[in-house]
Structure 1
Amino acid sequence: MYTPPARFASATFATFHPETPSQQQALRAAEAFTRRLLHPPGFRDRLAAWLGRVPESPPRHGLYLVGPVGTGKTHLLAAMYHALHPTLPCAFLHSSRLFRLPDHPETLAARLADRYRVLCLDEVELDDPANEARLVLILKTLERLGVTLLATSNVEPEKFLSVTLGNDRFRRFLTEEFRARYEVIVVRGEDYRQRLGKPGRAWIGPPEEARARLREAFENDPGRACWFSFDELMEAATHTEHTRLLHRLADCDSLYLADIAIDGTDTALRLLRIIDDLYLHPHPPRLFFSAATPPEAWLRAGETHGLLERGIAEKFARTTSRLTALCEIEPVPAADETPAS
Structure 2
Amino acid sequence: MLLGFEAVAPSRDDLISSLVPPQNFADADFDSYHPDKRYPSQQQAKETLIDFVRQHRMDEPSRWRRRQRSRLERPIGWYLDGGFGVGKTHLLAATFTAWRGPKYYVSFSGLTSLVGALSFGGALDLLQGATLLAIDEFELDDPGDTVLISRLAGELVETGTNLVVTSNTLPSRLGEGRFAAEDFLREIQGLADAFRVITIEGGDFRRRAFELNHQRGESVPLGDGAVRTPLASLLRELGQIHPVRYRGVVSQLVGVEIYDASQIVSQVDALRFCSLVDVLYDFGVPVRIRGVNLAELFPSSFLAGGFRHKYGRCLSRLVELEMTSGSTEWNYESGTGAT
Question: Is this a same-fold pair by TM over 0.5?
Answer: yes
Match of residue 173 from structure 2: none
Match of residue 327 from structure 1: 322
Match of residue 234 from structure 2: 233
Mapped contact 2:264–2:270 kept (Cα < 8 A): yes
Counterpart residue identity of residue 152, structure 1:
T
Match of residue 31 from structure 2: 14
1:123 aligns with 2:119: no
Cα deviation digits, residues 275-300 of structure 1 (max 9, x gap): 11112215x24423222672475355
- Name the % identity: 26
The partner residue of 1:144 within 144, 155, 158 is 158
Match of residue 156 from structure 1: 180
Q: 1:198 to 1:105 in 2, by over 3 A?
A: farther
Summarize the alignment of residues 43-192 of structure 1 with structure 2, pairs less than 5 Å apart.
60-84=75-99, 87-101=100-114, 102=116, 103-114=118-129, 116-154=130-168, 155-160=179-184, 172-173=189-190, 178=192, 180-192=193-205
CA distance in 2 between counterparts of 1:270 and 1:324 reads 18
Mapped contact 1:225–1:256 kept (Cα < 8 A): no
Offset at residue 236 of structure 1 (A): 0.7
Q: 1:296 to 1:34 in 2, by over 3 A?
A: farther
CA distance in 1 between counterparts of 2:298 and 2:246 reads 30
Cα deviation digits, residues 255-292 of structure 1 (max 9, x gap): 1232232224311211101111112215x244232226
Counterpart residue identity of residue 49, structure 2:
A
Counterpart residue identity of residue 123, structure 1:
E
Match of residue 38 from structure 1: 57
CA distance in 1 between counterparts of 2:250 and 2:58 reads 46
Q: 1:36 to 1:104 in 2, by over 3 A?
A: same
CA distance in 1 between counterparts of 2:200 and 2:105 reads 20
The SS at the match of 1:259 is coil
Summarize the alignment of residues 217-296 of structure 1 with structure 2, pairs less than 5 Å apart.
223-224=224-225, 226-240=227-241, 242=243, 243=245, 247=249, 251=253, 253-282=255-284, 284-291=285-292, 294-295=295-296
The SS at the match of 2:56 is helix
Mapped contact 2:250–2:283 kept (Cα < 8 A): no
Offset at residue 192 of structure 1 (A): 0.9
Match of residue 46 from structure 2: 27
CA distance in 1 between counterparts of 2:96 and 2:274 reads 26
Mapped contact 1:120–1:150 kept (Cα < 8 A): yes
Cα deviation digits, residues 12-38 of structure 1 (max 9, x gap): 111111111111111111111111211
Mapped contact 2:246–2:279 kept (Cα < 8 A): no
Mapped contact 1:200–1:327 kept (Cα < 8 A): no
CA distance in 2 between counterparts of 1:99 and 1:121 reads 11
Please report the TM-score for the alignment, with normalisation by the length of structure 2.
Answer: 0.71
CA distance in 2 between counterparts of 1:37 and 1:134 reads 28
Match of residue 208 from structure 1: none
- How many residue pairs were aligned? 278
Mapped contact 2:74–2:158 kept (Cα < 8 A): no
User: Over aligned residues, Cα RMSD in angstroms?
Assistant: 3.4
Offset at residue 107 of structure 1 (A): 4.3
CA distance in 2 between counterparts of 1:199 and 1:234 reads 30
CA distance in 2 between counterparts of 1:303 and 1:241 reads 26
CA distance in 2 between counterparts of 1:172 and 1:303 reads 27
Deviates more, 1:289-298 or 1:268-277: 289-298
Please report the TM-score for the alignment, with normalisation by the length of structure 1.
Answer: 0.70
CA distance in 2 between counterparts of 1:139 and 1:7 reads 25
Mapped contact 1:110–1:142 kept (Cα < 8 A): no
CA distance in 2 between counterparts of 1:199 and 1:226 reads 26
Bigger Rg, structure 1 or 2: 1
CA distance in 1 between counterparts of 2:207 and 2:224 reads 26
Cα deviation digits, residues 85-143 of structure 1 (max 9, x gap): xx3111010111001121444542232014x2210111212221111111210121011
CA distance in 2 between counterparts of 1:26 and 1:106 reads 34
CA distance in 1 between counterparts of 2:188 and 2:94 reads 31
The SS at the match of 1:262 is coil
